[in-house]
Amino acid sequence: MAIIEVAGLRKAYGGRPVVDGVSFSVDDGEIFGILGPNGAGKTTTVECVSGLRVADEGRVRVAGLDPVAEREALTRVVGVQLQRSEVQEKLTVREALELYAAFYERPADWRELVEELGLADRIGARFGKLSGGQRQRLFIALALIGRPRVVVLDELTTGLDPRGRRNTWRLIERVRDSGVTVVLVTHFMEEARHLCDRVALIDGGRITALDTPVGLIGRAAGSTVMSFVPSGPLPEGELAALPGATDVARKDGRVTVRGSEETVNAAMALIARRGLTAGRLRVESASLDDAYLDLTEGDRP
Amino acid sequence: MTATTVVLRTEARLFAREPGALFWIVAFPALLLTALGLVPAFREVDEELDGLRVVDLYVPIAVLLAMIMAGVQSMPVVLSGYRERGILRRLSATPARPSSLLAAQLAVHGGAVLVAVALTLAVGWLAFDVEPAGQPVGYGLAVLLAAFTSLALGGMIAALTPSAKAAQTLGLVIFFPAMFSAGVYVPVSTMPGLLGDVVELTPFGASAAALDRAAAGNWPHGLDVAVTGVWGLLFLGVAARWFRWE
């Protein structure tokens, strides 16, 4: 069942469309990723979902609520972690949690949250003295303190080291396991692949693809990559003519062919016909990175 | 406890962690009065001052100084900083309204001003025998009106500046004329003819005149009250029109 429905969302700033007809829905209990290059409209989209911005056009419903007309009710259902928004510098972790807990009728127990988030030894520390990772964890705690049904996390792990990122991912999974729907804005492919049930790729204010991470990878041209060292000469032209092949490259005697599974089978047959062998053969799926680059236009030369 | 109460308690706690603001708003005006009062000549009756002493004149000035510190120097920097750092924005994503933070800041700064006024009056009275106020009701009303106008001015500065730094700069630009018109350099009642008349049309000049009259045991002039109030409403209007939450 969909807990978030977005249909035909449009938003322009100063005549320039930032979100240009975005539609998607998020199921209850899902981790839904919104992925895309900088300036693609990701943040504006989730701001419209969280009631922080008023869309120019389109229909948004979160748990049946209109984020603009029923904003008050929405704030009790949605918890957010926003980019570039802090708490008062001299507020301690504990005071920030108590303050935000007071805004809700049935808040979560902040002691459990700090325990789970590994902030228990920092509850007396002022916000200004926290490290980047500790701040992020505090923001997650503040997003969860009202026991929301949906949390929106905007660039959650930006600025975290790999360990901090992994810990945060585990936390997000636990949040989802507790029944909360998660909307995750990110530009880390690895993060989307690891966490998300489904991913919407946004580019230039539009959704260019919406699928599971595995589905996205498969959808991109050249989703399978094989590489090998042929035991004898093998014309590149013949490889490029194989069914589904999108790219052939040769470096230091090693040939790399991008294509589909069909390409791999055809290449093996070709090698066999020529009486050659494929040394040091490797066959891999392309990463979500490759899919991302293939499916977004933004950074193409 | 309601959200509003917790926000207020939090802001009061944070204010108490700002030694600079505490000093300049609460302590400095009383300290300035003490320093002036310790000069023997300022404790002698001066016929040119209608039989008053310099230290008598400086009690209302010290009172206004506390308001200028709060409204021009302290509060707008806090508010613009809250907006700049997305604190107001974060709050607008909760069931609490960011306006509760604004109200708490007004209350905390207003409270600090009233403490400063009480401290200044107490120092003047106990240390230097300055009669607190000949017309206490008029004095009280003049204090409240001046506090309203100075905090409205602070709200306007916060509305017109995008960052804490900009608020600080604009605050500084307004700070010196405000101090002058309140009579910190030359008491308003001793300003010569035209200058005095012009200064009495400024918010702090009119407030100073109203406080002087009430201190001397009279009701403030209607014109001074009206001038202070109209400025206050004007500042409030600009603040309400241009204040942005993010």
How far is Cα A270 from Cα A293, in angstroms, rounded to an integer? 30
Percent above pLDDT 90 for chain A: 49
Residue carrying structure tokens 């905007």? A154
Residue A221: what pLDDT?
67
Answer yes or no: is pLDDT of A299 > 50: no
Of B168, B150, B185, B155, the closest CA to residue B73 belongs to: B168
Query: Which tokens hold the place of B166?
Result: 């900009």
pLDDT computed for residue A298 by the predictor: 47
Q: Which homologous superfamily is A2-218 in?
A: P-loop containing nucleotide triphosphate hydrolases (3.40.50.300)
Top CATH class of A221-285 equals alpha beta
Residue range A199-216: average pLDDT? 89
Q: Which pair of tokens denotes residue B23?
A: 């000093």
Whole-number Å distance between alpha carbons of B99 and B173: 27
Per the document, the length of chain A is: 301
- Which of A90, A95, A104 comes nearest B95 by C-beta? A104
pLDDT of residue A98: 94
Tell me what the mean pLDDT of segment A274-289 comes to: 84
Contact of A12 with chain B, judged by CB distance below 8 Å, is answered with no
> Which chain A residue shows the shortest CA-CA distance from B101?
A88
Residues of chain B contacting residue A98, judged by C-beta atoms under 8 Å apart:
6
With an 8 Å Cβ cutoff, is A146 touching chain B? yes
Q: Going by DSSP bridges, is the β-strand pair A31-35/A181-186 parallel, antiparallel, or unpaired?
A: parallel
Q: What single-letter amino acid sits at A85?
A: S
For A213-260, how does the pLDDT look when each residue is reduced to its tens digit (9 = 90+)? 888 877 776 678 889 999 888 888 888 888 888 888 888 889 988 888
> 3-state DSSP call for residue B104?
helix
Q: What is the structure's pLDDT at B76?
A: 95
> So what's the ipTM on this one?
0.85
Are A85 and B95 an interchain contact pair (Cβ–Cβ within 8 Å)? no
> Which mean pLDDT values do the consecutive 10-residue runs of chain B (246 residues) have?
87 94 95 91 79 86 94 94 92 87 93 95 90 86 95 94 94 94 86 86 92 88 92 92 83
CA distances to A16, A19, A50 from A296, rounded to whole Å, are 19, 15, 25
User: CA of B45 to nearest chain A CA: how many angstroms apart?
Assistant: 48
Residues 6+ apart with CB under 8 A from A288: A189, A190, A192, A193, A213, A216, A217
With beta carbons under 8 A apart, name residues in chain A contacting B6. 98-99, 102-103
B77 contact residues in A (CB cutoff 8 A):
none
Q: How many CB pairs under 8 A join A and B?
A: 61
- CA closest to A70 among chain B residues: B95
Which residues of chain B neighbour A153 with C-beta distances below 8 Å?
none
User: Is it true that A2-218 and A221-285 share their CATH fold?
Assistant: no
- DSSP for B179-246? HHHHTSSS-GGGS-HHHHHHHTTSHHHHHHHHHHHHHTTSPPPHHHHHHHHHHHHHHHHHHHHH----
* Residue among B159, B140, B146 at smallest CA distance from B215: B140
Task: Tell me the pLDDT tens digit for each residue of A129-163.
Answer: 998 888 988 999 999 999 999 999 998 877 778 88
Domain range list for chain A: 2-218, 221-285
